[in-house]
């Protein structure tokens, strides 16, 4: 008798229908280990947890039964996998829909000259399918906000070497996503080892059957050379510099855009501007 089968037993024995799910049950009942049964909770509070088995669990995962094997369970009314399709594409479409709630023209009108030039240049590459790779060289605190890490998005190996590929196949959901992708924004790229960027470049060219950089996708790499370079454990100066994007074979194919006005300080008080200049002087030492 486990906590789950004990929950089932309580539901069967009760005269009234149990109003709680298994996850909610520990908030109202206590499991007596010695007696292998649930009893009503008299004090305290407990948050229930649900355990799941993913495909990596092996036999535990493949022991799961389909809903059709349980006639009393409600069956799905539609084929949701067909409705949603590729869940990764669906998730990115949802993010796009959220972003479109705001009026883009209002944001565009607020851009300064440097930002407007970068915006026009990048969108031109997207709409005309040029597949240009940009490096957006920006000062501190440009107000950039993104959602995903590069290692999770591209399945980059933890130990990167020359001529490696990312950890997904041409038949995967990720490959399908990147075949539909028009723009990739990779922020703080200068903290990454150059081999990570080169691995993504090779992989996208492979899955898209396109020899252009990153498979012909417009890519915006963001960062500031005055911030932290890649971390090489116990590495000397030459090793750290060699690991930077500036020494990558990709660098000569990158179009550089510069944002030299810090908008977070432009409208701030005088003391903030003085402190920003002090940090700049420290960085240049």
Cβ atoms within 10 A of the Cβ of 119, count? 14
Is pLDDT larger for residue 265 or for residue 126? 126
CB 115 within 8 A of CB 143: no
pLDDT computed for residue 81 by the predictor: 60
pLDDT computed for residue 262 by the predictor: 62
Sign of CA dihedral 64, 69, 74, 75: positive
Is beta strand 218-223 parallel, antiparallel or unpaired with respect to 254-259?
A: unpaired
CA distance 220 to 13: 62
Cβ atoms within 10 A of the Cβ of 202, count? 16
CB 186 within 8 A of CB 136: no
pLDDT tens digits, 163-220: 889 999 898 989 999 999 999 999 989 999 999 999 999 999 999 999 999 999 999 9
Is pLDDT larger for residue 227 or for residue 254? 254
68: confidence class by pLDDT, cuts 50, 70, 90: confident
Residue ranges of the chain assigned to CATH 3.40.50: 112-284
123: tokens are 């969108």
In this predicted structure, the answer to whether residue 56 has a pLDDT above a threshold of 50 is yes
Is pLDDT larger for residue 229 or for residue 199? 199
Say which range, 56-60, 69-73, 103-107, 209-213, has the weakest mean pLDDT: 103-107
Average pLDDT of the segment spanning 235-241: 90
CA distance 7 to 13: 10
The mean predicted confidence, pLDDT, of the chain is 83
CA distance 163 to 72: 54
pLDDT computed for residue 141 by the predictor: 47
134: confidence class by pLDDT, cuts 50, 70, 90: very high
In this predicted structure, the answer to whether residue 106 has a pLDDT above a threshold of 90 is no
Average pLDDT of the segment spanning 23-47: 86
Global pTM value:
0.66
Average pLDDT of the segment spanning 143-151: 68
Fold classification of 112-284 is: Rossmann fold (3.40.50)
In this predicted structure, the answer to whether residue 144 has a pLDDT above a threshold of 50 is no
255: confidence class by pLDDT, cuts 50, 70, 90: very high
| Triad 262, 263, 267: Cα angle to 5° | 115
Is pLDDT larger for residue 153 or for residue 80? 153
CA distance 269 to 283: 22
Residue 147 DSSP class: -
pLDDT computed for residue 130 by the predictor: 95
Say which range, 7-16, 120-129, 135-144, 209-218, has the weakest mean pLDDT: 135-144
As a whole-number percent, the residues of the chain with pLDDT over 90 amount to: 36
Is pLDDT larger for residue 18 or for residue 207? 207
């Amino acid at each position: 008798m486990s906590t789950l089968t004990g929950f089932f037993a309580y539901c069967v024995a009760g005269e009234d229908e149990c109003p709680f799910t298994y996850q909610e049950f520990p908030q109202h009942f206590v499991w007596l280990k010695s007696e292998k049964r649930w009893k009503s909770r008299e004090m305290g509070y407990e948050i229930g947890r649900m355990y799941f088995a993913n495909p990596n669990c092996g036999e535990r995962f493949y022991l799961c039964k389909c809903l059709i094997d349980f006639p009393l369970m409600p069956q799905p009314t539609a084929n949701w996998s067909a409705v949603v399709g590729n869940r990764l594409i669906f998730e990115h479409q949802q993010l796009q829909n959220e972003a479109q709630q705001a009026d883009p023209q209002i944001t565009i009108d607020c851009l300064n000259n440097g930002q407007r030039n970068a915006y026009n240049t990048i969108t031109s590459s997207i709409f005309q399918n040029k597949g240009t790779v940009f490096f957006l060289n920006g000062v501190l605190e440009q107000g950039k906000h993104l959602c995903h890490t590069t290692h999770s998005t591209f399945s980059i190996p933890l130990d990167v070497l020359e001529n490696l590929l990312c950890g997904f196949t041409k038949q995967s959901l990720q490959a399908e996503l990147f075949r539909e992708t028009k723009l990739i924004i990779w922020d703080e790229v200068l903290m990454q080892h150059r081999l990570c960027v080169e691995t993504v470049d090779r992989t996208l060219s492979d899955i898209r059957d396109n020899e252009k950089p990153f498979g012909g996708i417009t890519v915006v790499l963001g960062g500031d050379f005055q911030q932290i370079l890649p971390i090489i454990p116990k590495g000397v100066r030459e090793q750290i510099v060699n690991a930077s994007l500036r020494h990558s074979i990709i660098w000569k194919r990158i179009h550089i855009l510069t944002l030299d006005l810090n908008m977070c300080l432009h409208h701030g008080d005088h003391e903030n501007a003085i402190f920003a200049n002090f940090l700049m002087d420290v960085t240049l030492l």
